[in-house]
Amino acid sequence: MRPVRVLVLKPQELSRSGHVGESLRERGAEITEHVLVDDGPPPALDGYDAMVVTGAPWSVYGEEVRPWIGALLARLRDAVEQDVPVLGICFGAQAFAEAMGGWVARARDTEVGLREVSTDDAALVPAGPWFMWHGDTFGPPDGATVIARTDAGPQAYTLGPHLLVQFHPEATADIVTAWLAYDDADFHAAGVDPAETLAAIRAGAADSKRRADAIVDRFLREAGTGRA
């Protein structure tokens, strides 16, 4: 039986798949990564069994994404029509909402650092702590089920086989270090110490990987691609 083929769409090179990509590979998946800002519009879904859309330092409605956001939204709609399950992470979850008739807007507060969530399905999305870094919020599309939230808004939802999360299950200490080097202004504005956050991520690395594994396992199983 052939391995599961997963298309990973990364808005930019720093949008790494981290724990999620590692979990997929450990389960025998073959991953193709496509960097939207460098490689252009995403490829067709022919031959792919699942799709992951990672985070970005930009907004779905921002000028920075204008050259390729239309193609990404179209590919997300293709995935729904073709029954290719999507795991959307932060920007990916927001883009999925936008593509399917929901909305994305600036949030009242920027959520950064490690946060707990209130969850209705702890087997799929445990309470945390999850690494968060987002200044936007979203309204899920019609038919979606919100399964996790904070006071600032929804943090995870499902729509059929698709799983969309606002937090970052992929985040490793190396990934967050690179993101902070790119721009740490949100942390300082929120009064969150980047060094303390990184220390906590390193200390909890094994647990973070375990929770990412659980999300990947459940995603593959619910998507009907558990043969990985």
In a domain, 227, yes or no: no
In a domain, 118, yes or no: yes
**pLDDT tens-place string over residues 117-154:** 999 999 889 998 999 999 999 999 999 999 999 998 99
Q: Could you give the CA distance from residue 181 to residue 78 in angstroms, rounded to a whole number?
A: 35
Q: Which of 19, 90, 111, 134 is catalytic?
A: 90
Element (H, E) at 139: strand 130-139
Q: Which of 19, 111, 134, 170 is catalytic?
A: 170
Residue 155 in tokens: 């943090």
In a domain, 174, yes or no: yes
Tell me which residue range forms the domain holding 89. Answer: 5-222
In a domain, 184, yes or no: yes
Q: What is the CATH number for 21?
A: 3.40.50.880
pLDDT band at 109 (very low <50, low <70, confident <90, very high): confident
**pLDDT tens-place string over residues 201-224:** 999 999 999 999 999 998 888 767
Q: Number of folded domains in the chain?
A: 1
DSSP state of 155: E
pLDDT given for residue 226 in this prediction: 47
In a domain, 159, yes or no: yes
Q: Could you give the CA distance from residue 175 to residue 161 in angstroms, rounded to a whole number?
A: 27
pLDDT given for residue 218 in this prediction: 87
pLDDT given for residue 228 in this prediction: 42
**pLDDT tens-place string over residues 166-186:** 999 999 999 999 999 999 999
* Residue 157 pLDDT exceeds 80: yes
Known catalytic membership, residue 19: no
* Residue 55 pLDDT exceeds 50: yes
Q: Could you give the CA distance from residue 217 to residue 200 in angstroms, rounded to a whole number?
A: 25
CA distances from 37 to 20, 57, 68, 147 (A): 21, 12, 7, 31
Q: Which of 34, 64, 168, 196 is catalytic?
A: 168
pTM of the model: 0.94
